[in-house]
Chains A and B, each alone.
Chain A
Amino acid sequence: MAGLKDKYCIVGVGETEYSRDSRRSTRAMAVEAIRKAMDDAGLAGAQVDGMMSYQSGDSTPAPWISGDLGMRLNFYMDVFGGGSSTEALVGLAIGAIEAGMCNTVALFRSMNGYSDFRIGGTGARAAQPVRGLDLAQVPFGMRSAGQNFAPTFMRHMYEYGTTSEQVAAVRVAHSKHASQNPKAFLKDRVTVADVVGSRWIVKPLHLLDCCLETDNATALIVTSAERARDLKRKPAVIMGVAGRVNKPRLDFHWAHGPISRVAGHYAKDIVFGQAGIRPEDVNVTGSYDAFTFTTMLQLEEYGFCKKGEGGAYVASGIIELGGKRPNNTSGGHLCEGYTHGMSMVIENVRQLRGTVDDYCPGAAEGKHSYDYAKGKCRQVKDARITMNLGWAMPPTGSALILHN
């Protein structure tokens, strides 16, 4: 987005409750989440003329819900995909607006990721026929995300000496953050011993190295900085975006190593180049924490520490509230709920506004205690620049840098 830095913003965010038993359709949840984002921005239906979503055959398309929101769309697009889509769609929304196709775009992801189409791969997903490129892996009992990623994590441990205890610190940090988030599905704080003592899923992943599966919808609204001026909220201004950047040989990324390298290696120059900043300028990160390991890998690949030192970095306390650069202050996918990435962008928008919805009585007015004890505050003081590190799989990732 050369030349588009600071010209587009996220002006509204919204989500539904995180549960495992929504008892509602993805259509119903999407309408609620988008309406909340519109109310958050102060936008009426007639003022939103674009809509995009991402899904994997498990959700509701934009045409089914725009009427429920009083919109007549000039542009819509429902794309196939999961993680890494949020940041990519923010970039595409900018492109659609810049092309003159529409003015203001609502993005959503709605999923009954536990009660209906379990994101972990059991149930409906496991029963699907196996064909095409899936024949290279699925017949060998390699189907779920954890199974698809684990050899990457294992090789990182082999090459760099990364330990289970180090990456467990990601879960510990995010659980602390979730304990200050009234929306979080899991609010209990855990220890490194809890993580490495939890049962095996697929070595090297313990149960608590893996994220939640939840039901929910999330939404955010993108428009130009010019239009944002008339809206209710202080906008989160887009400095740079990279979307679905890939490693070589996406058909079978194992063929092109090092396999401990992930897509952020290729995305970082795009996104930091646009934003004109360096990693040390970022105050808050939002990493795609499908697993503890994915956070560690992304933080090192984007240059927050040296390649290979991610284990020590995440175990150092830097990524906790009160640390130098907190990560996933909502609790993320490990503890708040699973949304295929959008919730971490929503959280960063709220951090930049200074009105994170923690337990501080004056949170909505930006009054925070900055006491990061359980059940207290999770606002980062003077958050100026945030960065989201989106992940689909080891060879595919996205990124988004925002400022207030």
Chain B
Amino acid sequence: MANVEYRGMNLVIPENDSEWREHFKLARQRRKLVLRKCAKCGLMRYPPSHGCPWCPSQEWSWQEVSGGGHIYSYEVVHHAIQPGFKEWTPYTVALVELDEQRGAPTADEALRIIANVVTREFRPEPEANIAIGKRVRVVFQEIGEDWALPQVSLTDEPPVGRVWSFPG
């Protein structure tokens, strides 16, 4: 059983939960975001799961992706719920759309992940810098021997689509 304390939370991966154990372990070892790719139709999916959402296959392999993407939506937490996040407020939780497989297999679908937008020092990026459309890159926050959390940092690449930040 992988068991990591992070920000006062007890993150638990039982021995039989291979989908998450390998996901976080490969993130730590390779410093790459790895997703499950269907052996039959070739489409990737996240979170790691056991059946392809689009075809009947249960065969898959781990596939590295570039880690590039943009902020699709976000929120800024000012009132932390978990005690370990209080010293981090205000922090951004972003819904990040990855560069691979955008608009596939249908226009409404994409590979998206949840991550915090962090600085090089793994501190929360100031909220004034956050906007929908801004480019980000996955970075890896090591939180245990076999465990890295994929987070994202802003890049200086041109944005994707209209740039918009919450006016409040």
Contacts and interface: CB of A to CB of B under 8 A. Distances in A.
Given A155-B72, A203-B78, A257 B109 contact: yes
Contact of A141 (B45, B82, B132): B82
Given A130-B9, A140-B93, A164-B168, A255 B115 contact: no
Instruction: Point out which of A135, A141, A259 has the most chain B C-beta atoms below 10 A from its C-beta.
Output: A141
Nearest to A151: B73
Interface in B98-140: 108-116, 127, 132
Interface string A98-135: 00000000000000000000001110001001111101
Contact of B17 (A130, A131, A196, A203): A131
B62 to A, nearest CB: 17
Interface in A298-341: none
A255 B10 contact: no
A200 interface: yes
A321 to B, nearest CB: 29
Contacts of A256: 108-109
A201 B79 contact: yes
B53 A249 contact: yes
Interface residues of B, number: 51
Contact of B73 (A120, A122, A155, A255): A155
Given A143-B82, A152-B73, A196 B112 contact: no
Contacts of A129: 9-12
Given A132-B17, A141-B77, A151-B93, A157 B11 contact: no
Interface string B33-68: 000000000000111010001000000000000000
Interface in A148-167: 150-152, 154-155, 157-158, 164
Size category of the A interface is: 35 or more
Contacts of B53: 248-249, 255
A203 B166 contact: yes
A56 to B, nearest CB: 16
A255 B91 contact: no
Interface of A, helix, strand, loop or mixed by DSSP: mixed
A284 to B, nearest CB: 32
Contacts of B17: 131-132
A204 B114 contact: no
A251 B81 contact: no
Given A158-B164, A258-B108, A259-B95, A202 B79 contact: yes
B58 to A, nearest CB: 15
A404 interface: no
A137 B9 CA distance: 13
Contacts of A249: 53
B95 A140 contact: no
B154 interface: no
A254 B95 contact: yes
A121 to B, nearest CB: 4
A151 B109 contact: no
A258 B103 CA distance: 11
A20 B142 CA distance: 41
A164 B12 CA distance: 38
Given A147-B75, A203-B76, A257 B10 contact: no
A131 B47 contact: no
Contacts of A144: 81
Given A136-B46, A203-B75, 6 more contacts: A121-B81, A143-B81, A154-B132, A158-B162, A202-B77, A251-B47
Interface of A: 120-122, 126, 129-133, 135-144, 147, 150-152, 154-155, 157-158, 164, 196, 199-204, 248-249, 251-252, 254-259
15 contacts: A126-B83, A129-B9, A130-B11, A131-B13, A132-B20, A133-B47, A136-B113, A139-B9, A139-B11, A147-B77, A154-B73, A164-B168, A196-B168, A248-B53, A255-B109
